[in-house]
Structures are given as structure tokens and as C-alpha cells.
Structure 1
Amino acid sequence: MLRFVLIALGAAGIALPAAAQVPFPAEVRTQEITTNGATIHVRIGGTGPAVVLLHGYGETGDMWAPLAADLVRDHTVVVPDLRGLGLSSKPETGFDKKTQAGDVAGVLDALKIDHADLVTHDIGNMVGYAFAVQHPERVKRFVLIDAPLPGIGPWEEVLKNPLLWHFRFGGPDMERLVAGRERIYLDRFWNEFSATPSRFSEAAREHYAELYALPGAMHSGFAQFAAFDQDAVDNKAFLAANGKLGMPVLAIGGEKSFGPMMATVMRFAASDVTEGIIPDAGHWIMEENPTATSAMVRSFLASQ
């Protein structure tokens, strides 16, 4: 189905995104999985224990190519694009993270994977937490990277940071303001949230800007943020009903971004938290220091 959609877009004169600049290993295939009211574009490869990699805003599952190339040697790697982003479908609703946790469950069910490790970044953290807190028996270990959880710990203080103005960017004209200017809008985040902006390469910027210029993508991105208030309500309810997560958690912050605050946040939501800091990196750690990030994640997933 996705192939025909892409052909139709090309026929309509809509430019399609170039291939990811850092390719996935040849053994990684793609599959479109329809579940929970969306069609999720998923990359799957390797054999061994399953690990699910969830991306955040400003990127797609393509961000995980360097880590997937490492893990695919001895893991089954599952890399979805979140609903509304990348090459997944663009539904009108369902951008609260509780619903998107259902997308993750549906993908794993379709692949006949009962349990997995989770590695998540940015909004992927929020989707991953909603999945882990509802399905703790399916998550063996959980790595969260450099973003807060709505309603958890110092969330209200986080919202006061002026760098996070986009959390509240909304209104009837927001999509019209950025239409055709997606690269300008996204460059702001890639530059301001990097320790060294030049490490977020020009090729990667072009690739993601084209993906976010696809019909419905910016609408979906704004909807991810608009759902934060509901996510906060849901997360508080999850915590009250289920208590803290019990599986081992690695909370990673970029040295020039969340740093140790990532572990501080997660100690409000999990009982077994290990702190990790990626040196010489801001928020975009897979672009800024992929070697250190991959080594830290692999070490944690290998731990007993």
C-alpha cells in the first residue's frame, strides 16, 4: 500500500525524500503494519532478543541506523516510524502517547514478539513509557534518552524553559506559517538543541526536512505536542494505579542537554534507574556522539 502511495505522490509532482544518509544494514527489511487505526512503517532485521527503537520529533526511525547496525549482529531490531511521522500513515487523531503505545503493542503482536528491550529518544520516551507502564511484562529493559515525561517529576518546571516554546506553539495558522518552510522551522531545533550543530549533517537535515514536508507530517508533529496535556493526565493516572516501573532503566542525558536531569526525572517513575551521560553531546546524541551512545546502550542491554 505504501509503495502505491509513494508512486501517487511522485505522479502528483510532490518530491519524495531521498534515502537515509546513514543506511540500515542490508539484512534490515521494511514492512507496513496496519494496527490500532494507523499503518506503521517498520524496519526489522537480525536475530536474537528483540529491541524496539522509538524516535522523537525532528527525526524518524532513520535516526537509529548507527545503533541498529551495531545491535542487529545479535538482536532482532524493530524500528517503527511513529504514527504521523516518517513513512507511517497520517491519521487525524491518536497522537496521545497512550494510543501510540497501542501502536507499539500492535507492531509487536504482528511480528509475534512477546517481549523486548526498549530504547527511546525524545517523544519516543513518552510513547515508550506509556507502553512500559501498561505492559510491564513485555519490557525487559528500558533506555530513555534526553527528554522529559509529561506529568512526571519536574514537568511543570520543564515547561517554563523558553527553549521549549514549541510545546505550546499552536493556533489556526501554525501549519500555514511553516508550510514550505519546514527546513527553517526544523533547523531551529537542530541548531539550538545541539552542542555542535555542524554534527547534525546537511544530508540528514535535507532528508528529514523532506520527510516532514510530506502531506500531513507537520500537522501530525504539532499534534504530538498538542497531546501533552492529555499525556500528563494519563501518566499521573498510570503512576497512581501501577506504581513505579520495576524493570531496569537507563536514563541517558546529553552532557550539554538534559545531563543528569534525565535520571532525576526517571526516579519519579521507576525504581531501578541507572544514570548515563553522553559526553560532548546535546540533545541529538545519535548525530553528535553515536559511538558513545551505542556503546552505552549495548552495555546496558547486555547486563543481567
Structure 2
Amino acid sequence: MSTILIVLFLLILVVVAASLALGRATYEVDSARDTEFLELDGAWVRYNVIGGGPPVVLVHGWLSSSRIWEPLASRLAQRFTVYSLDLVGFGESDKPASGYGVRNGSRLLYAFCAHFGLARASVIGHDLGANMVVKLAADHPDLVGRIVLVSAPADEDQIDLPTPLWLATLPVIGPLFYALGRAARPVRRMWMRPFVADPDDLTDELVDDAGKSTPAAAARTLSISRREISRGRLVRQAAIIKMPMLVVSGEEDQIVDPHSVSAWAGSVQRAEICLMDACGHAPMIERPAEFNAQILAFLTGDARYLDHAEAQLPTAADQEAEPAEDREPDVLPDDEIAVPPEDVHASDDTADLTVEYPVSDEAPPKIHRKREGTYQADGQDETSEPQTDRVQNRRRRATSADDPIPELPEDLFDWPEPRREPRRPRPEDEEPPPSSNGPSRL
């Protein structure tokens, strides 16, 4: 009996020692090429720049890499200069033993934008990368123009990992489970299966990227980030953000509670919400056509992207009649977007993205939810203006000849002053309000 106990004790010691050794494992880039890597805060970071136009920065989330943005990046590159990077600890970037979490990720993004001289750039973040974007916008408001949060948790309780993946984040024994996942692809597929609503949408890139981190990077990024966003700390800090914000979430997200969109929209004044039905934690992969249209419509202010995406999506009857292998991908080139003859001045959507829009503190945020094949705002009743009329009026407002889209300046960071709408004249029979300088009446 004593021999068995000794063997078990030695086995436990071996397991603990191996787990501690794996938990301290690091990774450094062997040969960094200037065209693909840059050094930020002492770590080599892999990046990519494509397209031309106003800057857009893409920030991936936990256990992911910049490859998750490839469908969106190629689409945005037709109108914008798209910057993407692998955060420290993930993808092809360095993976040190420390330096993780929302605060350190925000510092890395600031160094990244400063390296390229970016100002008032639109920043899109996914998962914990979206929390880093919020921190960046709150600390450096002059750096960020527009914000898109995708599947972003507002509190630590809103993160729910599947049990096999949760075991890989535990202290002491977690590194062994993570090493098992890195070695066995079926284990990684089990990790990432809850990230998408439909198992057919689970891509090889998503599965492979889950095993490119280290136990320290994966566990510490999650644990430190959860502490930093706990008790609504980051949501309260987001209240100072004045930039327009779009919050996107899948209604069937099993990793981050979709109700997190309410916390962000309630904190930020200029927030819009997009809830995508039949979609999980990775809408950029599960619903690329609809997701790209939402992003383009938000960045450009042109709702025709939504209309075109809806027209291109096949109906349920078409999907049943057409074999899956014969279906064409949902590609939405700019030259296919229908532009009415009276809207010829609206073809350039690389316009001023910093136009100030009136915001009422009492008005609820705009909700863009797909219902019965159309996009409409929550709270509208059946007696309101028909969808087709609203779309036409929205197009006329966005592409009116009286309010033309300004030309792209030579210096992309030297934007004109925001246009302001003239005040409406008061009716003659209406008494003007009392002056704030005069005596007040109790």
C-alpha cells in the first residue's frame, strides 16, 4: 500500500512540475521581416496593411488572430486603409510570460497607431479585443474616430467558456490541458465548437489559431481581463466616449451573453445596436455578407449596403432547391450597389466620418434587428412609415444635392469641420423661451 502511495505522490509531483514548466513557456519570433513585423513595447508584433483611404484598425479577440478579419479586411480595403495585427500572445506575434490583459492590450494598440501616425481612425474589436478598443478610446479620444464592438463582454459574469476550454485556463493543471489541445486537433475543435451557432461555420483557421498561443498567454489574458472588466469598471469608463459606436452581437452567442449590448448602449451616448439572428460568437465568419454590410453602412453612413446585402441573400426556398456546392459566395462589390440617378453624388463613401449628429440623452439607442427579411428600428408599430418609404427617405437624406459628400482631402487626417444643420426658424406666434440670464420663476 505504501508503494502505491509513493508512486502516486511521485506521479503528482511530475505532473505539477510539467504543468509549471509549460505555464512558463514563451515564444519569440525567430526572423522578423520589416514588411510583416514591428517591435512594440519590446515584443515583435505581426501586422498587415491593405487598401487605401481613411484608416480602419481591426483587433481580434481571445484565442484568435488577425486571420479572423480576412473576409472583412478584403471588403473594407476597397474604400479604406485596413490595419490588422496579431496581439501579443496570439497568432504569429511574440508570446512573453507577462504583459496581458485589457490595459496592456490598449497600450499595445496605442503604440501600433502611433507607429503609423494614425489619428481619428475607426477601430473594430472582437471579444476581449473589443474591450481593449473601449479602453483605447476612453484614454485617447483624439486617436479614435468610430468604434465597432463585436461580441464584447461588459462584465466578467457574461463570459461563459465550454468545460473543455475552461479546464485549459485553470491554474497548475491548466497548462497540461492546453498542451493537450495544441497537440490534438480534435480537442481544439471541441474547444471552438461553441464559438459558432452552426458547426459547418467552424473554419480551419479558427481551430488552428486556438492552438497558436501559450498556456501563460491564454490563461493570463483571460484572467486579467476578467478582473479588469469586473463590476462594470470598463462600462463606467466608456461613459466618457463621445464617438459613434456600433455594438454587434449574435443572438445565439454561447461565449458572451448577448445582453451585454444593453450595457454598452446604456453607457455610451451615440451607440447603435445590431443583433444578428442565427449567429454565434463570430459573426464575421458565420454571417460575412450581412456583417460586412452592417460595418460598411456604419462607417460610411450609407444604408444602401444593408439593402444590397438583403437583396443578395438567398431565401429559404432557394437554399433548399440549390445544392450547397453550387451556391455562389455572398460577395458585395461596390460597383454592384444600385445608385439611383438622383444619387450620383453619393458614390464616394470615403467622406467625412466625423460628422456630428444630434443626440438626445432621453432617446433610446438605435436598434438594427433583422425581422421578416427587413431591417427596422425597435419600437416602430405597424402604422409607421413603410420600410420602402423609409429607405428611400433615408437615401434622399444621405445623398441630397443640398448636402453633398465632401471630396477626399489630400491629407487624410486633415478633415473639414463637421457640418451643422441650420436652426429651424421659430413660428411667429410662438413665444421665445425665457433667457437663461434673466430671473427664473419658481
Structures share fold, TM-score greater than 0.5: yes
Q: What is the CA distance between 1:80 and its match in structure 2?
A: 0.8
Could you list the per-position Cα deviations for residues 244-303 of structure 1 after superposition, in whole angstroms to 9, with x for gaps in the alignment? 311111000112126862420212431111010223211121221111111101110112
Match of residue 281 from structure 1: 279
Q: What is the CA distance between 1:72 and its match in structure 2?
A: 0.6
Could you list the per-position Cα deviations for residues 137-177 of structure 1 after superposition, in whole angstroms to 9, with x for gaps in the alignment? 2111100011213xxxxx25425x57588399321121122
Verify the 8 A CA contact 1:122 1:147 in the aligned structure 2. yes
Alpha-carbon separation, structure 1, partners of 2:275 and 2:235? 27
Match of residue 193 from structure 2: 191
Match of residue 231 from structure 1: 228
State the TM-score, normalizing by the size of structure 1.
0.79
Alpha-carbon separation, structure 2, partners of 1:256 and 1:277? 10
Verify the 8 A CA contact 1:178 1:185 in the aligned structure 2. no
* Aligned amino acid, residue 199 of structure 2: P
Q: What is the CA distance between 1:195 and its match in structure 2?
A: 1.1
Could you list the per-position Cα deviations for residues 47-82 of structure 1 after superposition, in whole angstroms to 9, with x for gaps in the alignment? 111001011123210000000001111111010111
Q: What is the CA distance between 1:92 and its match in structure 2?
A: 1.6
Match of residue 91 from structure 2: 86
Closer, same or farther in 2 for the Cα pair 1:112/1:102, shift >3 Å? same
1:117 aligns with 2:119: no
User: What are the ranges of 5 or more consecutive residues in structure 2 without an aligned counterpart?
Assistant: 1-27, 302-354, 356-442
* Aligned amino acid, residue 283 of structure 2: I
RMSD: 2.8
Verify the 8 A CA contact 1:148 1:265 in the aligned structure 2. no
Match of residue 211 from structure 1: 212
Q: Please give the residue correspondences for 1:1-304 in structure 2 after superposition, counting only pairs within 5 Å.
A: 2=29, 4=31, 30-149=35-154, 155=155, 157-158=157-158, 161=160, 163=162, 166=166, 169-182=169-182, 183-201=185-203, 203-205=204-206, 207-209=208-210, 211-212=212-213, 217-232=214-229, 236=233, 239=236, 243-257=239-253, 261-303=259-301, 304=355
Alpha-carbon separation, structure 1, partners of 2:284 and 2:65? 12
Alpha-carbon separation, structure 1, partners of 2:157 and 2:93? 33
2:39 is paired with a residue of what secondary structure? strand
Verify the 8 A CA contact 2:44 2:94 in the aligned structure 1. yes
Verify the 8 A CA contact 1:263 1:273 in the aligned structure 2. no
Alpha-carbon separation, structure 2, partners of 1:237 and 1:61? 24
State the TM-score, normalizing by the size of structure 2.
0.56
Q: Tell me the matched-pair count.
A: 270
Percent of residue pairs bearing the same amino acid type: 22
2:212 is paired with a residue of what secondary structure? helix
User: What are the ranges of 5 or more consecutive residues in structure 1 without an aligned counterpart?
Assistant: 7-28, 150-154
Verify the 8 A CA contact 1:167 1:225 in the aligned structure 2. no
* Aligned amino acid, residue 177 of structure 1: F
* Aligned amino acid, residue 256 of structure 1: E
Whose relative contact order is higher, 1 or 2, with alpha carbons under 8 Å and at least 6 apart? 1
* Aligned amino acid, residue 31 of structure 2: F
